[in-house]
Amino acid sequence: MTPPLLSLDDLSVGFTRYTGVARTRTVTGVTSLSLDIAPGEILAVIGASGSGKTLLAQAILGILPANATVSGRITFDGTPLDERRLRKLRGREISYIPQSVNNLDPLMTVGKQVRIGLDPPTAREWQRALFSRYGLADDVARRYPFQLSGGMLRRVLFATSVRDTVRLVIADEPTPGLHADAVAEVLRHLRELAEGGASVLLITHDIFAATAIARRVAVMHEGALRTVEAASAFTGDGDDLEHPFARALWRALPQNQFSPGSEPWRSS
């Protein structure tokens, strides 16, 4: 077996909340999560809002909120991923496609934003190549984010995030609010990255987007990884799904066999 590209071992993220003078309480965001991603694998992470998906991404990228505490081990390409190494890899070997297009700078032209981090002598050339790869016309480079459509902004986010040196792409909810064609386009771009050899961690609410391109689907609930299922098991009645939680999640979808009371995220 090929060794994993990324390995999470007993990863926890917590928050300290001040509940009074000199009194604190720790709130858990992610609990003892262990997970591997193989080189070139597309792994989807699904789970309800607040289940810890974005925290998981931020923990890998070393960009957790300042009030978060993290424990556990993260290994990238066989070596621990510490802060010093992350600074070198982020934006080069590890890319982040953030949850919101609001992460773009509203006061900078999108061309300039795409050129950030590119080698100055060839930055313009690379930016043009990235624009053409993501179907953006050359003159779009001179525009500001507010002058672009939602679909174009998504493509700009890809162009700012993805470098040809990339080995791990973390995409946080890249498809919400997009119509079917645009979703298909985003998924195609992610698949292309994987075909180029990169591992892709796709965070999404959308089981159908997840199973369309991922080989495995990790299911999170209240900060814990409940199960990792084969994407192909999310079909029919869900009988092939290994974990009852995944089965319940699948069957609770209105288009499957929805039955009141089967909502697994409503924990008692």
User: Where along the sequence are the contacts to ligand ATP (CB under 6 A)?
Assistant: 15, 27, 29, 47, 49-55, 65, 67
Q: Are 38 and 76 in contact (CB under 8 A)?
A: no
SS3 59: helix
DSSP-derived letter for residue 104 is S
Burial 49-74 (b: 16+ CB within 10 A, else e): eebbbbbbbbbbbbebeeebebeeeb
Residue 211 binds Ni ion, judged by CB under 5 A: no
Nearer to ligand ATP, 110 or 218 (CB): 218
Q: Which of 46-54, 71-79, 89-97, 217-225 is the region at the interface with Ni ion (rule: CB under 5 A)?
A: 46-54
Nearer to Ni ion, 4 or 52 (CB): 52
Q: What is the largest CA-CA distance in the chain?
A: 61
DSSP bridge pairs for 26 = 16
Residue 54 binds Ni ion, judged by CB under 5 A: yes
CB of 11 to ligand ATP, least distance (A): 12
Run of H or E residues at 217: strand 216-221
SS3 84: helix
Nearer to ligand ATP, 156 or 203 (CB): 203
Residue 204 binds Ni ion, judged by CB under 5 A: no
Binding mask of the shown chain, residues 77 to 116, with x at each position contacting Ni ion by CB under 5 A: ----------------------------------------
CB of 191 to Ni ion, least distance (A): 22
15 binds, among Ni ion, ligand ATP, none (CB under 5 to 8 A by kind): ligand ATP
Window 216-235: residues binding Ni ion (CB under 5 A): none
DSSP-derived letter for residue 268 is -
CA 205, distance to chain mean position in Å, is 11
Q: Are 213 and 191 in contact (CB under 8 A)?
A: yes
Task: Round the CA-based radius of gyration of the chain to a whole number and report it.
Answer: 19
47 binds, among Ni ion, ligand ATP, none (CB under 5 to 8 A by kind): ligand ATP
CB of 264 to ligand ATP, least distance (A): 15
User: Can you give the binding site for Ni ion, defined by CB under 5 A?
Assistant: 53-54
